[in-house]
């Protein structure tokens, strides 16, 4: 284990004394009568790769545009590196943004696109040329310098857009769905490249995405947004393993949700009478009072085939395999446990598909351990 | 399938013939030797030669070109400003009214436009003393009033197709609004500005009705000369002149078409 001081450096949000690099303070944005962003407060620290995750229309892009200065908050303040930038227009902020469409200027070459921001700063010609060369080399697009944007592939355009936003050495880089316009294969390699780049240049990144996998792979922390509000801010692991809301559990990955009521509690152990008609034994980090209606969330890969099934067994459930989704490395089995409930279980395909033990229509018993899920109330 | 294709070509030929045979006849007869416009008596270019010595016609042509160019330039400036207001400034108070007033000249009968402008100019001359008399200035102003509407329509459609994030990106990279407009917006809508200019130029060049109302003595435009000389009996010189105009217009349209075709791919790219 790393010592606490080192850990604090890696995870500044754990350190109560660390000063946030970006502070969003009770920011609200209304369009007419609609709240796009509703009283959001958020601290982002230097060197983070921070993701705003949510479905379309949840307000994540509006929040990003407010950081860039392209949208003015209806209420609240925004601080970057300690300075209040709420009233500073986009062209004077030490922040650059990469647009979802990349927004490359079609009438300029790659070189001129990258140079554009430097020209606005009246940087001398010689320095400008040097910086452009550096950026093109950094993103390995030097040989494209004389091309126009319509002569580039999607991946090349993304690199040009990145070079252009990085050229001014911004304190903060904002990325709106940075990989959204790429096809799946390219996206995966671009994810790793983006993270490597961020670690190399050490700039704070804030990205917006609706793709949970992308957010999980790249981010130091994720803020999950819904209906203009931030539900949970945490590391990818914590978001996945310890969601605090049903919405978060459901939005990230697959999850089985069992409704129930607290029967007994002892320390952090809790016994729940579930709607399945059986008792569930879970560890509950935020103990709830007896009688509280709760939801137990269990990820499909935490489900195991049970060899010691009992009719009233705790954390056990039995059903019939209804659907199998074969994904190559794993298969997802959808098991009908009651007329109105399907339970999903993921198993690694250790053996070739044809030799799998489970098949359609087969009866299967499943179980899970008390520490492999969370108990939620909202 | 071959048969139906053959038929389609026939329809195309008939359609084109209907539209262009009169023009073609005009060009052919401009090389007619005879003084009578309708009787062919042999090939000659003498009418082109005589045209060069016809001061009245040449003066009128030069006046028309000057009016058309001035008109087109002002119409592009005003029309672009109007299009900007409509596309870029959201739902400002009176937007619908502005839009209606802007497009009204497109459908207004020319006689009414001409008459109302004449009344305006006369009243203004009496009360403020400007414009003194009627001529180049009044005709140009009259042409600008309706050309602006056409330019606004052309520029507006181009502007509304433009990706907003291009301008936002420029601003994000440190360009102030005026700079964004000059280095991003203007180059991208330039094809629309050019075709708007050409449209305004041609509209002005062939306007007869409105010009007749607001023209004064000594400021006869080309269409007015042609029209009055036709009533006196057509001289083959008019054919020669018309042929030259057809040639100039064809070249202009061709150039505008080529330019907008070359701009097409970049207009869609992001």
Pair (A27, A163) in one structural domain: yes
Domain CATH number, residue A173: 3.40.50.300
Spatial CA neighbour of B57 closest among B216, B211, B220, B214: B220
Domain tally, chain A: 2
Pair (A178, A202) in one structural domain: yes
A and B: number of Cβ contacts within 8 A: 74
Taking CB atoms and an 8 Å cutoff, what residues of chain B touch A116?
Answer: 170, 173, 175, 183
- Tell me, yes or no, whether A1 lies in a domain: no
Chain A: residue whose CA lies nearest to B173: A117
Residue from the list B166, B172, B183 with its beta carbon closest to the beta carbon of A97: B172
pLDDT of residue B212: 92
Is B172 in contact with A105 (Cβ distance < 8 A)? no
Whether pTM > 0.90 for this model: the answer is no
Other C-beta atoms closer than 10 Å to the C-beta of A279 total 17
CA distance A65 to chain B (A): 10
Listed as ranges, residues in chain A with pLDDT below 70 are 1-10, 353-356
Is B172 in contact with A69 (Cβ distance < 8 A)? yes
CA distance A118 to chain B (A): 8
Taking CB atoms and an 8 Å cutoff, what residues of chain A touch B166?
Answer: 103, 105-106
Residue B270 has pLDDT above 50, yes or no: no
Chain A: residue whose CA lies nearest to B263: A107
Residue B95 has pLDDT above 50, yes or no: yes
The SS3 call for residue A23 is strand
Pair (A240, A260) in one structural domain: no
CA distance B183 to chain A (A): 10
pLDDT bin (cut points 50, 70, 90) of residue B57 is confident
Mean pLDDT of the residues in chain B: 87
Those residues of chain A whose CB sits closer than 8 Å to some CB in chain B are 68-70, 89-92, 95-97, 99-107, 116-117, 120-121, 148-150, 164-165, 168
pLDDT of residue A111: 95
Domain with A152 in it? 19-247
Residue B185 has pLDDT above 90, yes or no: yes
- Tell me, yes or no, whether A239 lies in a domain: yes
- Tell me, yes or no, whether A91 lies in a domain: yes
Arithmetic mean of pLDDT, B113-124: 93
Choosing from A247, A266, A301, the residue where a domain stops is A247
- Tell me, yes or no, whether A163 lies in a domain: yes
Chain B: residue whose CA lies nearest to A70: B168
Mutation site for A-interface testing, chosen from B164, B172, B264 by largest number of A Cβ within 10 Å: B172
Taking CB atoms and an 8 Å cutoff, what residues of chain B touch A150?
Answer: 265-266, 269
Q: What is the C-alpha separation between A309 and B230, in angstroms, rounded?
A: 107
Residues in chain B: 270
User: Which H, E and C letters describe chain A, residue by residue?
Assistant: CCCHHHHHHHCHHHCCCCCCCEEEEEEEEEECCEEEEEEEEEEECCCCEEEEECCCCCCHHHHHHHHHCCCCCCEEEEEECCEECCCCCHHHCCEEEECCCCCCCCCCCHHHHHHHHHHHCCCCHHHHHHHHHHHHHHCCCHHHCCCCHHHCCHHHHHHHHHHHHHCCCCCEEEEECCCCCCCHHHHHHHHHHHHHHHHHHCCEEEEEECCHHHHHHHCCEEEEEECCEEEEEECHHHHHHCCCCHHHHHHCCCCEEEEEEEEEEECCEEEEEECCCCEEEEECCCCCCCCCEEEEEECHHHCEECCCCCCCCCCEEEEEEEEEEECCCEEEEEEEEECCEEEEEEEECCCCHHHCCCCCCCEEEEECCCCCEEEECC
- Tell me, yes or no, whether A14 lies in a domain: no
pLDDT of residue B250: 86
* Domain map (residue ranges) of chain B: 55-268
Mutation site for B-interface testing, chosen from A72, A106, A122, A178 by largest number of B Cβ within 10 Å: A106
Q: What is the C-alpha separation between A283 and A375, in angstroms, rounded?
A: 8
Greater model confidence, B269 or A21: A21
Taking CB atoms and an 8 Å cutoff, what residues of chain A touch B192?
Answer: none
Mutation site for B-interface testing, chosen from A65, A70, A102, A105 by largest number of B Cβ within 10 Å: A105
Chain B: residue whose CA lies nearest to A92: B174
Q: What is the C-alpha separation between B179 and B3, in angstroms, rounded?
A: 58
Pair (A289, A356) in one structural domain: yes
Pair (A119, A161) in one structural domain: yes
pLDDT of residue B144: 95
Mutation site for B-interface testing, chosen from A96, A99, A100 by largest number of B Cβ within 10 Å: A99
pLDDT of residue A278: 83
Is B269 in contact with A101 (Cβ distance < 8 A)? no
pLDDT of residue B148: 94
Residue B269 has pLDDT above 70, yes or no: no
Choosing from A232, A247, A262, the residue where a domain stops is A247
Pair (A51, A129) in one structural domain: yes
- Tell me, yes or no, whether A9 lies in a domain: no
Pair (A210, A316) in one structural domain: no
The SS3 call for residue A365 is strand
CA distance A128 to chain B (A): 14
Residue B268 has pLDDT above 50, yes or no: no
CATH class of B55-268: mainly alpha
Pair (A187, A279) in one structural domain: no
- Tell me, yes or no, whether A109 lies in a domain: yes
CA distance A175 to chain B (A): 12
Pair (A143, A197) in one structural domain: yes
**Contact (Cβ atoms closer than 8 angstroms) between residue A118 and residue A104:** no
Pair (A192, A226) in one structural domain: yes
pLDDT in tens, B214-234: 998 888 999 998 888 877 777
Pair (A171, A59) in one structural domain: yes
Is A164 in contact with B172 (Cβ distance < 8 A)? no
Pair (A219, A273) in one structural domain: no
């Amino acid at each position: 284990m790393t010592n606490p001081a080192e850990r604090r450096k890696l995870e500044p949000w754990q350190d109560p004394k660390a000063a946030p690099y970006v502070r969003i303070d009770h920011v609200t944005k209304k369009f007419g009568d609609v709240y796009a962003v509703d009283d959001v407060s958020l601290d982002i620290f230097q060197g983070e790769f921070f993701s705003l995750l949510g479905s379309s229309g949840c307000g994540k892009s509006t929040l990003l545009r407010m950081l860039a200065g392209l949208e003015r908050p209806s209420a609240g303040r925004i601080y970057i590196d300690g300075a209040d930038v709420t009233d500073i227009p986009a062209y004077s902020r030490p922040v650059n943004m990469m647009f979802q469409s990349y927004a490359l200027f079609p009438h300029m070459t790659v070189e001129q696109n990258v140079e554009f921001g430097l020209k606005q700063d009246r940087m001398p010609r010689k320095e400008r040329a040097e910086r452009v060369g550096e950026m093109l080399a950094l993103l390995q697009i030097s040989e494209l310098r004389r091309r126009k944007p319509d002569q580039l592939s999607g991946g090349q355009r993304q690199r040009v857009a990145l070079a252009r936003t990085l050229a001014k050495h911004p304190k903060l880089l904002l990325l709106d769905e940075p990989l959204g316009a790429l096809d799946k294969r390219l996206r995966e390699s671009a994810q790793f490249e983006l993270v490597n780049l961020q670690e190399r240049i050490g700039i704070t990144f804030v990205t917006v995405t609706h793709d949970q996998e992308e957010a999980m792979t790249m981010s130091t922390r994720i803020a999950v947004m819904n209906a203009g509000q931030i539900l949970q801010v945490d590391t990818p692991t914590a978001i996945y393993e310890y969601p605090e809301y049903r919405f978060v559990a459901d939005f990230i990955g697959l999850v089985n949700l069992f409704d129930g009521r607290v029967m007994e509690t002892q320390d952090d152990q809790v016994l729940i009478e579930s709607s399945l008609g059986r008792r569930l034994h879970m560890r509950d980090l935020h103990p709830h009072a007896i009688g509280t209606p709760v939801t137990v969330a269990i990820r499909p890969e935490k489900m195991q085939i049970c060899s010691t099934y009992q009719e009233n067994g705790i954390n056990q459930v039995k059903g019939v395999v209804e659907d199998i989704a074969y994904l190559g490395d794993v298969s997802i089995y959808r098991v009908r446990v009651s007329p109105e409930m399907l339970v999903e279980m993921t198993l690694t395909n250790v053996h070739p598909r044809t030799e799998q033990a489970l098949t359609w229509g087969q009866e299967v018993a499943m179980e899970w351990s008390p520490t492999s899920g969370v108990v939620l109330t909202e | 399938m071959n048969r139906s294709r053959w038929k389609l070509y026939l329809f195309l030929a008939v359609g084109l013939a209907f539209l262009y045979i009169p023009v073609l006849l005009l060009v052919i007869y401009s090389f007619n030797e005879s003084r009578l416009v309708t009787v062919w008596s042999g090939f000659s270019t003498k009418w082109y030669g005589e045209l060069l010595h016809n001061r009245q016609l040449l003066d009128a042509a030069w006046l028309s070109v000057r009016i058309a160019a001035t008109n087109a330039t002002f119409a592009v400036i005003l029309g672009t400003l109007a299009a900007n207001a409509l596309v870029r400034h959201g739902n400002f108070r009176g937007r619908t009214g502005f839009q209606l007033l802007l497009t009204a000249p497109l459908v207004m009968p020319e006689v009414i436009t001409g008459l109302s402008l004449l009344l305006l100019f006369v009243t203004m001359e009496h009360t403020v003393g400007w414009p003194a008399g009627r001529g180049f200035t009044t005709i140009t102003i009259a042409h600008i009033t309706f050309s602006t509407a056409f330019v606004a329509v052309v520029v507006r459609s181009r502007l509304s197709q433009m990706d907003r994030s291009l301008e936002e990106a420029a601003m994000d990279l440190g360009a102030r609004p005026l700079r964004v407009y000059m280095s991003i917006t203007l180059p991208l809508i330039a094809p629309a500005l050019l075709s708007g200019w050409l449209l305004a130029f041609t509209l002005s060049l062939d306007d007869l009705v409105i010009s007749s109302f607001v023209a004064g003595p000594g400021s006869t435009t080309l269409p007015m000369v042609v029209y009055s000389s036709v009533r006196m009996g057509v001289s083959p010189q008019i054919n020669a002149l018309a042929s030259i105009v057809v040639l100039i217009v064809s070249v202009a349209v061709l150039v505008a078409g080529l330019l907008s075709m070359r701009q097409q791919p970049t207009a869609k790219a992001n």
